């Protein structure tokens, strides 16, 4: 069984009601964070306190996190990680933690051999690549007087559009696969699957433009239970979306249909979108079970494949009808 907590649905910057990207996934084998934008730990702590005081029987414990997966290096997806690690350190964490992110072979090599040297203009290396961020974060956290718990920093060298299985899977019973996406920096979606029967799976994309060759049934091998996909704009701004490496709600619906996802959860909305019903109407042209997510939504995937959505109202969660279209 998977419980997927959506803790950020705004694109690029927070709004009055929506935070930037961040998700928490609870599995029977271990818990994961997928993206960790600005202020993520505050959101998670508040979310868990509210859950603790509710009778739905779902939790999102800070201490149970085993793995952090990052989709790309834009700050609204990763800038909350260093405060999160610092809090874990202050709390006296002892368990090891694995952090996995995409990079490129060129950036990894440059960071190993020429770290802190200026990157020539004719080199196709982004100075904000995780190969450099990992070194900065590691140096910062290791310079503390308080002993740090073990952190396994893993870079996935993305080259082309082939999916990448993680060589050493950090959670027994769970398979992690990085699937390249199309954005303005190297980026991936994360396919998280249970290994044992019944095999359940969720696919969480970061930022991506439509028509990524990796998002195909042939690549994924089997339909996913839930696809979490960005819908930064609606269709009238499709050209703008493509120029900036983003997708529309219509394109998110197409992608969900292409891969036979049971449920599409849309996130990363531009602040200019005021009517999320329009987003759902647009995506349902191609995929009926499409939902514009709210911060605090929880998707529960049962072992038999049944999916429930719990939606927060004030400080309580109520089951939402995922069959409605």
Q: What is the percentage of the chain residues whose pLDDT exceeds 70? A: 98
CATH classification of the domain holding 93: 3.60.15.10
- pTM as predicted: 0.95
Per-residue model confidence (pLDDT) at position 125: 87
In a domain, 325, yes or no: no
Q: What are phi and psi of 229, to 5 degrees?
A: -135, 145
Mean pLDDT of 59-73: 95
| Whether the predicted pLDDT of 321 surpasses 80 | no
Higher pLDDT among residues 199 and 280, named by residue: 280
In a domain, 260, yes or no: yes
User: Which of 120-124, 169-173, 235-239, 301-305 is least confident?
Assistant: 120-124
Q: Is the dihedral of CA 209, 210, 211, 214 positive or negative?
A: positive
Per the listing, tokens 């990524």 go with: 212
Per-residue model confidence (pLDDT) at position 91: 92
| Whether the predicted pLDDT of 166 surpasses 80 | yes
- Both structure tokens of 250: 């219509």
Mean pLDDT of 196-205: 90
Mean pLDDT of 245-268: 95
Q: What are phi and psi of 49, to 5 degrees?
A: -65, -40
Q: 303-318, pLDDT tens digit by residue?
A: 999 999 999 988 899 9
Residue 241's pLDDT band, with cuts at 50, 70 and 90, is: confident
Burial 194-205 (b: 16+ CB within 10 A, else e): beeeeebbbbbb
CB 32 within 8 A of CB 67: yes
Residue 291's pLDDT band, with cuts at 50, 70 and 90, is: very high
In a domain, 126, yes or no: yes
Q: Which domain holds residue 136?
A: 2-320
Mean pLDDT of 213-236: 86
In a domain, 232, yes or no: yes
Return the H-helix or E-strand segment holding 38.
none
Q: 7-20, pLDDT tens digit by residue?
A: 999 998 999 889 99
In a domain, 117, yes or no: yes
Residue 180's pLDDT band, with cuts at 50, 70 and 90, is: very high
| Whether the predicted pLDDT of 144 surpasses 80 | no
Most confident residue range from 16-20, 21-25, 162-166: 21-25
- Mean residue pLDDT of the chain comes to 92
Question: How many domains are contained in the chain?
Answer: 1
User: Starting at the edge strand that comes first in sequence, how are the strands of the sheet with 31-36 ordered?
Assistant: 151-157, 97-103, 65-69, 31-36, 22-27, 2-6, 298-301, 307-313, 316-320
């Amino acid at each position: 069984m998977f419980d997927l907590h959506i803790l950020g649905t705004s694109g690029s910057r927070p709004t009055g009601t929506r935070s930037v990207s961040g998700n928490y996934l609870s599995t029977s084998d271990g818990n994961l964070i997928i993206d960790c934008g600005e202020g993520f730990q505050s959101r998670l702590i508040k979310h868990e306190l509210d859950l603790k005081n509710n009778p739905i029987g779902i939790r999102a414990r800070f201490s149970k996190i085993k793995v952090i997966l990052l989709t790309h290096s834009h700050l609204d997806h990763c800038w909350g990680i260093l405060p999160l690690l610092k809090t874990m350190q202050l709390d006296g964490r002892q368990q090891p933690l694995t952090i996995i992110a995409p990079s490129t072979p060129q950036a990894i090599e440059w960071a190993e051999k020429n770290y802190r040297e200026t990157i020539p203009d004719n080199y196709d290396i982004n100075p904000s690549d995780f190969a450099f961020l990992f070194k900065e974060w590691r140096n910062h956290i290791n310079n503390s007087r308080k002993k740090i718990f073990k952190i396994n920093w893993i870079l996935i060298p993305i080259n082309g559009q082939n999916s990448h299985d993680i060589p050493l899977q950090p959670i027994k019973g769970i398979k992690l696969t990085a699937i390249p996406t199309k954005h303005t920096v190297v980026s991936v979606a994360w396919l998280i699957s249970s290994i044992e029967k019944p095999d359940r799976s969720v696919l969480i994309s970061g930022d991506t433009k439509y028509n990524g060759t990796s998002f195909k049934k042939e690549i994924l091998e089997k339909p996913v239970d839930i696809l979490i996909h960005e819908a930064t704009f609606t269709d009238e701004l499709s050209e703008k979306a493509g120029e900036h490496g983003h997708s529309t709600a219509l394109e998110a619906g197409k992608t969900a249909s292409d891969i036979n996802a049971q449920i599409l959860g849309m996130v990363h909305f531009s602040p200019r979108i005021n009517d999320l019903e329009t987003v759902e109407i647009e995506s349902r042209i191609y995929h009926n079970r499409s939902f514009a997510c709210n911060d605090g939504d929880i998707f529960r995937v049962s072992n038999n494949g049944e999916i429930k959505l719990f939606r927060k109202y004030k400080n309580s969660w109520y089951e939402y009808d995922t069959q409605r279209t």
